[in-house]
Chains A and B, each alone.
Chain A
Amino acid sequence: MTFARLRKIRKVVEAITNRNKKSQINQEPKDPSTKFVITSRESSALITSTIIGAGVLTLPRPASEIAHQSAWLATLCGGIVIFFVMWAITKLGLRFPGKTFVEYTGDLIGIKRSETVGKLVALPILLFFILMWLGMMVAAIRLFGEAIVSAVLPETPLEVIVGIFLLALLALLIVELEVIVRFNEILLPVIILPVTFVSVLSLQNAELTNIFPMFKIDLFTFLKGVVSQMFAYQGFTIMLLFMAYVQRGKNVGASTIGIALPTFNYILIVFATVAVFGFEELQHLTWPTLELMKSTDFSFFILERIESAFVAIWVVAVYTTAGNLFYAVCFAFAQILPTKKEDTARKWIGVCLLPVAFWLVFLPENVYQLFQWSKYIGYAGLVAFAIPFVLLLLAVIRKQGKGAPRRHEKKRQKNHSSP
């Protein structure tokens, strides 16, 4: 046996021993209670693509309504606040490995003697989240349907557009969570790049007078603007459910990236729109992002007008947002129900909810009413942001959750891992 052969055999032995840390694709469950693992990049993609949705089409208008010239700064601050909420959700998820929000809230709130009490107390909280997600999904679909009618298919009835969209959502509902996260990761570039591209190119029409002076408003108004900007980020709360499956180790980093990408995109689009139109003019535009594209010259790009292409590509972003939210709704519902066959339950709940969603989509009489109602959902979102903090506080006080190592243990682990 030659030396090369011996070396090769040693390498094989090493490879076998190192196999667990080697690959993420392997998808072998790291924790026995979970079926599969969402990799850190997948979880970032999941957060980002849930946040970015139909809202981008109108975002600059509410952004500049209160914060005026400093709208983009308000967006940034909103993103930072959202990051802390995301941090709380991540920490909460880390404390209960392999358990979703639905499963641990009951334990966290309830008393030790009886599980049912905890479950009953937790039920309103869970239902609140589910209804909020459903509302967000419905609002996104309606908003996008209106955009499609106004920009792409002016002669097609809204009912048909929404109907076919909901049917397509059904395809997403019947697959496993593993597929959903892969789907989100693959489509991430399609969601991130168009907005970046459009905003950067539209800066050719920007006027500095529209951006400066930046701080003409007082601090309180600015904070109000920040709060209103937080509405645009709501989608990430579905991570309360899916954090259970995320790969341990880089969770906080993954969540940070997941929040940072939409923040970056939002800032770009808000900055570009305000710089091009000015905040006063913006208040009169129904679809500021589409107007931005109309005002920009894309003639070098073969296509003469790009906004209908943009709206068509934007189907991707809305599909992932609405799909993820809808999936979360059905997933949470199936977990609340006392059934063992969660997969089957989820599918049937989804099928039953589709007509309800269809009805809800047409509840607002017009776009104006839709904007009003989305604002209410936004206020509900503010309450929702507080809940993870409360739960985390409860978990710390009641010393629940095994996933969080104590401080000195953490130190020891660090020493151990560094060679």
Chain B
Amino acid sequence: MPNYRKPKQMKELRKEKVLKENEEKKLELIEEKISSDLETNIKMTKGILGEKTGDLVVRRFHIGADENFPAAAVFIDGLAGKDIIDDFILKANMIENRGMKMDPNEPVTKQDLFKIVKQYSLTINEIGEAEEMRKIIRHILSGDTAIFIDGSEKAFGANTKGWEHRPVQEPKAESVIRGPREGFTETLRVNTALIRTRLKDPDLRIKHFASGERTNTNIAVAFIEGVCEDYLLKEVERRIESIEIDGIIGSGYVEQLIEDSHWSPFPTVQYTERSDKVIGNLLEGRVVILVDGTPFVLIAPSVLSQFYQSPEDYYERFWVATFIRLIRLLSLFVALLAPSLYIAFTAFHPEMIPSELIIAIAAGRATVPFPSVVEAFIMEISIEILREASVRLPGLIGPTIGIVGALVIGQAAVQAGLVSPLMVIIVSLTTIGSFASPSYSAATSIRLLRFPMMIMAGTFGLYGIMLFWLVIILHLCTLKSFGVPYVAPLSPSHFTDLKDVIFRAPVQWMSRRPLTVTPEDDVREVTKNPKGGGGHH
């Protein structure tokens, strides 16, 4: 076999060499310092970003209408806001500072120019100064305008970010009846601002990272200092810093790269589009990871209760909230177990079903030519196809096709004797049940586990269902999310936390933050009873 291996090795070596050369060429330019010559700077920028970059705009001008002071504004068309550049960079520097050299005794020199521009004529609030090419390129690529001034070894990166982005809209994937309607957008700055506007805590910290060799995606880690535990924060930062990948296109990349066990069907990092959910989690001492370019914000650590908890629970009064939470929990069980229980009961334990019902079931199944496992599989798989197709279908006809598919196919299948009517009921219940979970990723894992569960039910009946269920629970026990056991606070049990697990206690009871995420400061302030000390009105 050595013959076979050798050419491959050569090819790889050559590839490596080419890559290395390219990298070195680029690095040479990027590592370069900004020179005092304007033309060199422009050349270097073009060298790094490519000679034929169509959207790179280089606007040369003279500061203060003086031939001696050439300068250039470099920005990327589309990323930078043109109005800002016109009004506050070009107009301010070209026209409004014409009186710059009125005093004939102290003529402006090229050395002073940088300072003068910064202090008198660059009317932009946020400017960065850079001495290396690398920094200024980063500025240009993130929508800032680079201002090179001839004779100065520094350059400005003026904040002119102004690309088109989606406005804040109602989140599509997680809708609630009561609660704010604002969802995150694709723009990191908008998202951090959404958090800041609702959480005016001076202790709120937003740390920035950049990841992805080529995409240079900005990642922000938000937490409340003094509430969030140090260990958790360090762990999150360590994992984000250790990401090495060429591109981060969505928060899903970050999620998969930092989660604890990527083999598990269960999500160990939560994601959300809702700003209120993020704030609730920040207040509980969790860490929030915002990724530029995606409206989905990650929350760590996340535990099992994410499967059925929604921010809405805390807006409703506690009886209602508890009831709704129980319904969601039930629907998850239905989504996981209903088809398997149907299989187990009809195939193995008909004696358990009340006699009237079993007669009806038997009558319905009389024409069905398959065993109940096959019947269930046919129906479950076709509903999965239908579900996937209805996501892809163009907006308007999506729901129509869904209804047509479900109703017509279901009815026809029953009439053709392929499936029993009860099976249709079960399949619809299962599908609807899996949508009751507020977390889509959690519901997906339940959807996935339904199939092996059905196989176990088809082979061993109830015994198989229980064994598989046990293995699932064992697996849940092995999971950890950033050092927090996935099944906490059920185990290791913490009684004070249990009031917000299945039962949602009145807000007055929750005077302490859940200890599951070990917050540094676990005291929430609580309103004293407004009625006062039992006085009569």
Q: Which residues in A have some Cβ–Cβ distance to B below 8 Å?
A: 5, 8-9, 11-12, 15-16, 19, 22-27, 39, 41-42, 45, 148, 152-153, 156, 161, 164-165, 168, 171-172, 175-176, 179, 181-183, 185-187, 299, 302-306, 308-309, 311-313, 315-316, 319
**Interface pair B478/A175, CB less than 8 Å apart:** yes
Write out the residue numbers on chain B whose beta carbons fall within 8 Å of the beta carbon of A24: 492, 494
Which one of B463, B471, B520 lies within 8 Å of A153 (CB-CB)? B463
Q: Identify A182's interface contact among B463, B477, B494, B518, CB under 8 A.
A: B477
Interface-facing stretch out of B40-48, B61-69, B348-356: B348-356
Contact A183-B520, Cβ < 8 Å, known A25-B485, A299-B354, A312-B463: no
Contact A25 B518 (CB under 8 A): yes
- Bound Cα distance A25, B484 (Å): 8
How distant is A11 from chain B, measured CB to nearest CB, in Å? 6
Q: Judging by beta carbons under 8 Å apart, are A185 and B473 in contact?
A: no
Residue of A nearest to B484 (CB): A25
Q: Which of A41, A303, A304, A315 is B467 in contact with, Cβ under 8 Å? A: A315
Question: Which one of B460, B467, B475, B485 lies within 8 Å of A156 (CB-CB)?
Answer: B460
**In the complex, which residues of chain B have a beta carbon less than 8 angstroms from the beta carbon of A153?**
348, 460-461, 463
Bound complex: CA A176 to CA B485 (Å): 13
Task: Report chain A residues within 8 Å CB of B471.
Answer: 168, 171
B492 touches A185 (CB 8 A): yes
A23 to B520, CA, bound (A): 11
How far, in Å, is B26 (CB) from chain A's closest CB?
47
| CB–CB A175/B494 < 8 A | no
For A26, what are the chain B residues with a Cβ–Cβ distance below 8 Å?
A: 518
- When the two chains form their complex, are residues A23 and B494 in contact, meaning their CB atoms are under 8 A apart? yes
Instruction: Check if B58 is an interface residue, CB within 8 A of chain A.
Output: no
- 27 of the cross-chain contacts (CB-CB < 8 Å) are A5-B202, A8-B226, A8-B521, A11-B521, A15-B519, A15-B521, A19-B518, A19-B520, A22-B518, A23-B518, A24-B494, A25-B488, A25-B494, A153-B463, A161-B460, A171-B474, A175-B474, A179-B474, A179-B477, A182-B485, A299-B354, A304-B354, A305-B352, A312-B462, A313-B466, A315-B466, A315-B467
B residues within 8 A CB of A168?
Answer: 467, 470-471
B518 touches A152 (CB 8 A): no
Interface pair B466/A308, CB less than 8 Å apart: no
Q: Is the interface of A mostly helix, strand, loop or mixed?
A: helix
B226 interface neighbour in A12, A148, A299, Cβ under 8 Å: A12
Contact between B478 and A152 (Cβ–Cβ < 8 Å)? no
User: Scoring B residues 477 to 495 as 1 if CB is less than 8 Å from chain A, else 0, what string do you get?
Assistant: 1100000110111111110
Nearest residue in A to B465 (C-beta to C-beta)?
Answer: A312
Docked-complex contact A308 and B467, CB < 8 angstroms: no
CB atoms of A172 and B491 under 8 A apart = no
Which of B464, B487, B491, B515: most chain A Cβ within 10 A? B491
Q: Which residue of B lies closest to A185 (CB)?
A: B491
Q: Contact at A303–B516, with CB atoms within 8 Å?
A: no
**How many of chain B's residues have a CB under 8 angstroms from any CB in A?**
42
From residue B225, how far is it (CB to closest CB) to chain A in Å?
9
Residue among A42, A148, A176, A183 with most chain B CB within 10 A: A183
- Interface contact B477-A186, CB-CB below 8 Å: yes
B522 interface residue, CB < 8 Å from A?
yes
Do the beta carbons of B463 and A319 come within 8 Å of each other? no
- Of the candidates A27, A165, A309, A319, the one whose C-beta lies within 8 Å of that of B492 is A27
* Docked pose: A305 CA to B354 CA in angstroms: 8
Contact B353 A315 (CB under 8 A): no
Closest to A180 in B: B477
Report yes or no: B354 in contact with A25, Cβ–Cβ below 8 A: no
Which residue, B461, B477, B490, has most C-beta atoms of chain A within 10 A?
B477
Least CB separation from A160: chain B residue: B460
Q: Are B355 and A25 in contact (CB under 8 A)?
A: no
A304 touches B516 (CB 8 A): no
Query: Whole-angstrom distance from the CB of A334 to the nearest CB of chain B?
Result: 19
For the complex, give the distance between the alpha carbons of A41 and B498 in Å.
Answer: 14
Q: A23-B518, A302-B354 are in contact. Are A165 and B477 (CB under 8 A)?
A: no
- Cβ-defined contact, B354 with A39, below 8 A: no
Q: Establish whether residues B467 and A183, one from each chain, have CB atoms under 8 Å apart when the complex forms.
A: no
Beyond the given pairs A171-B471, A185-B492, 15 more chain A to chain B contacts, judged by CB atoms under 8 angstroms and listed by A's residue number, are A25-B484, A25-B492, A25-B494, A25-B516, A41-B492, A42-B491, A148-B463, A165-B467, A179-B477, A182-B491, A183-B473, A183-B477, A186-B490, A187-B473, A315-B463
